[in-house]
Amino acid sequence: MKLPLTHPPAGASFELGEEITPEQRAFLDEHGFVRFRGFLSMDEVQMIRDELERIAEEWIAEDREFVNGIPIKYGEDENGKKFVNRYAFTSLFSEKLHALLSEPRFETVRRICGDDFRLGHEEKDGVVVNNYLNVPGSNYTKLGWHVDSLRDVFYGKLPQPMWNVGIYLDDSYRDKGALRLIPGTHKQSLMGVFFGKRHFMDHETDPREYIVEADAGDLTLHDGRMWHRVGQSPLTGEASRRRTMYMPFINGPVEKKDEAAKTPFYHRFSRKIR
Ligand SMILES: O=C(O)CCC(=O)C(=O)O
Ligand SMILES: [Fe+2]
């Protein structure tokens, strides 16, 4: 892989108006990601956190293992209490969240991805929430290097265009581990996607990596073709908690899932290696 031409400045961020500006678009094109500050209010962030708590209680009470074939990852906190490490299809379990994601602000985001893109509430893994907590019983404290669109290969297709749009539900600076990505790798060849790194197994620091630091309420967009990982927090317990919500923006034929959907190979594989 070639080195990116320029490295984005540390902490680079923007504010999103009714439309993406040429400057913001140029940043996104060049580096493959962008961060918009203060996209949601703290009240909205709190609403989502509360909904997540409610959904977790529901799923734990009914011993739910899957949603539409996608395994829910559970962990145990310091008090032995079960919690959800990774939610899938979250917006199907909350009318409030679904309503928020239908507001005009998200239409702006959709148009940034492309006029023919849609938010896949019922496709792929739907709206995913990661809840990283660094405690011994947690099954999700970090995430190895990967390229999101390689998942298509596990689903039996060539990598498709896809944007991963993230909402931060906690402040996430490097003391939380944070998202690390390699700017410019959205332009890599298919060979780079396949063989650049060992997907999900490799957690090594890369000299090219850029640490995306963000506050609760921020919105980020990253190209599904670029290399990224989530580091492990050097902190433990509640201080290490990092919640992010990812929305898949996709185009092409609609492929909705329901409870009859099979578990993709990728998830059976990833269950073993984390
Ligand atoms: O938590 C994050 O910021 C990234 C998560 C991620 O890369 C993924 O779920 O594919
Ligand atoms: Fe990812």
- Residue 172, CB half-sphere, CA atoms under 13 Å: how many? 32
First to last CA, the chain: 26
Q: Is 148 close to ligand 1, i.e. is its CB under 6 Å away?
A: yes
- Run of H or E residues at 151: helix 151-154
Q: Residue 60: what pLDDT?
A: 98
Average pLDDT taken over every residue of the chain: 92
Pocket test for ligand 1, best of 133, 143, 174 (most atoms within 8 A of CB): 143
Q: What is the pLDDT of residues 127-181, one digit of tens each?
A: 999 999 999 999 999 999 999 888 777 666 666 678 899 999 999 999 999 999 9
Q: What spacing in Å lies between the alpha carbon of 207 and ligand 1's midpoint?
A: 20
The CA distance from 150 to 168, in Å, is 24
Q: What is the pLDDT of residues 229-238, one digit of tens each?
A: 999 999 999 9
Q: Residue 158: what pLDDT?
A: 67
Give the angle 268-91-154 at the CA atoms, nearest 5°: 25
Residue 179's identity, in one-letter code, is: L
Q: What spacing in Å lies between the alpha carbon of 137 and ligand 2's midpoint?
A: 23
Name the token pair of 111: 């148009």
Q: What is the pLDDT of residues 37-73, one digit of tens each?
A: 999 999 999 999 999 999 999 999 999 999 999 999 9
Q: What is the pLDDT of residues 82-112, one digit of tens each?
A: 999 999 999 999 999 999 999 999 999 999 9
**pLDDT higher than threshold 70 for residue 271:** no
Q: Is 244 close to ligand 1, i.e. is its CB under 6 Å away?
A: yes
Q: Where are the domains of the chain?
A: 22-250+260-273
Pocket test for ligand 1, best of 244, 245, 247, 266 (most atoms within 8 A of CB): 244
CA 31 to chain centre: 17
Q: Is 143 close to ligand 1, i.e. is its CB under 6 Å away?
A: yes
**pLDDT higher than threshold 80 for residue 272:** no
- Residue 75: C-alpha distances to residues 32, 35, 114, 194, 228 (Å): 32, 29, 37, 30, 23
Q: Is 89 close to ligand 1, i.e. is its CB under 6 Å away?
A: no
pTM comes to: 0.93
The CA distance from 273 to 259, in Å, is 25
Q: Is 230 close to ligand 1, i.e. is its CB under 6 Å away?
A: yes
The CA distance from 83 to 73, in Å, is 9
pLDDT band, residue 274 (cuts 50/70/90):
very low
CATH superfamily of the domain spanning 22-250+260-273? q2cbj1_9rhob like domain (2.60.120.620)
Q: What spacing in Å lies between the alpha carbon of 153 and ligand 1's midpoint?
A: 18
